[in-house]
Amino acid sequence: ISFNSVDSSLSSLKNCQSYINTGMDIATHVAFDLVESFNDVEDVNSMEKVMLEYAAMDRELNHYMKATEETVNQIKREKPENIPNLKNLVKEKFTALENKNSDSDLQKNEKYMYFKDQLKEMRKQYNDNEAIEQIDEDIAVTQSQMNFICPITQMEMQKPVRNKVCGHTYEEDAILKIIQTRKQQKKEVRCPKIGCSHTKVKESDLVPDEALKRAIDSQKKQ
């Protein structure tokens, strides 16, 4: 049995998945713009609904691709004499996966989790600055600048990335250089933030800190 057409279809579905990822990135940045512009909470919440819709589409695509791949592997393994009904087999496996769906699945979508996390940081950044500014403008500037300094370079960050495990931020190039060097030495990387006990910093745990980058850029404009 030739599976060329099936492989072609799976490739097309993966392209669709990349479009979903792009859509989620756009929705995330729109939400950040809304927070930055002090827009109504309802507008920001509408972006969260969009993110959940995208997450649902992503889950459905993943289930369909998984059902198809499992069906193909099953046929290759069993090598039946008669060609089975691929459509029915895929549908059966897909339905079984969809029946296990729950709202918590969507909450665990990686891009949705990033959206929620960065949105929280954005709101915290703006609320904290607003509260401090009411006391003393100089204190607000000093406090912000302290948060902008990379613990490795001791300079203001240009491309901050945050460690999902311990929550600390670093300049992207600086932390990646340390990770690469320690990898060659076959040693683990300790978080460079003073006082942090995290000893296994990995590149896969680093995510762009869009909220902090926007705060840094905003401070520069002021």
Residue segments in the chain with a per-residue pLDDT below the cut of 50 = 131-135, 137-143
Task: Give residue-wise pLDDT tens across range 111-120.
Answer: 999 999 998 8
Rg (CA), the chain: 23
Which superfamily is assigned to 160-220 in CATH? Answer: Zinc/RING finger domain, C3HC4 (zinc finger) (3.30.40.10)
Name residue, tokens 């279809």: 9
The pLDDT, as a whole number, for residue 222 is 65
Q: What are the tokens at 219?
A: 């401070």
The pLDDT, as a whole number, for residue 130 is 52
CA-CA-CA-CA dihedral for 80, 81, 87, 92, to nearest 10: -40
The pLDDT, as a whole number, for residue 200 is 93
Answer whether 0.75 is exceeded by the pTM.
Answer: no
- Residue boundaries of the structural domains of the chain: 3-128, 160-220
The pLDDT, as a whole number, for residue 149 is 92
The Cα-based distances of 116 to 17, 91, 121 in angstroms read 21, 33, 9
Task: Give residue-wise pLDDT tens across range 168-201.
Answer: 999 999 999 999 999 999 999 999 999 999 999 9
Helix (H) or strand (E) holding 169, with range, is: strand 169-171
The pLDDT, as a whole number, for residue 145 is 58
Among candidate residues 93, 127, 112, the one with its CA nearest the CA of residue 53: 112
Helix (H) or strand (E) holding 114, with range, is: helix 110-133
The pLDDT, as a whole number, for residue 156 is 93
The pLDDT, as a whole number, for residue 146 is 63
Q: Decide: 89 and 71 in contact? Cβ < 8 Å.
A: yes
Q: What are the tokens at 216?
A: 């840094």
Q: Decide: 111 and 57 in contact? Cβ < 8 Å.
A: no
The pLDDT, as a whole number, for residue 144 is 52
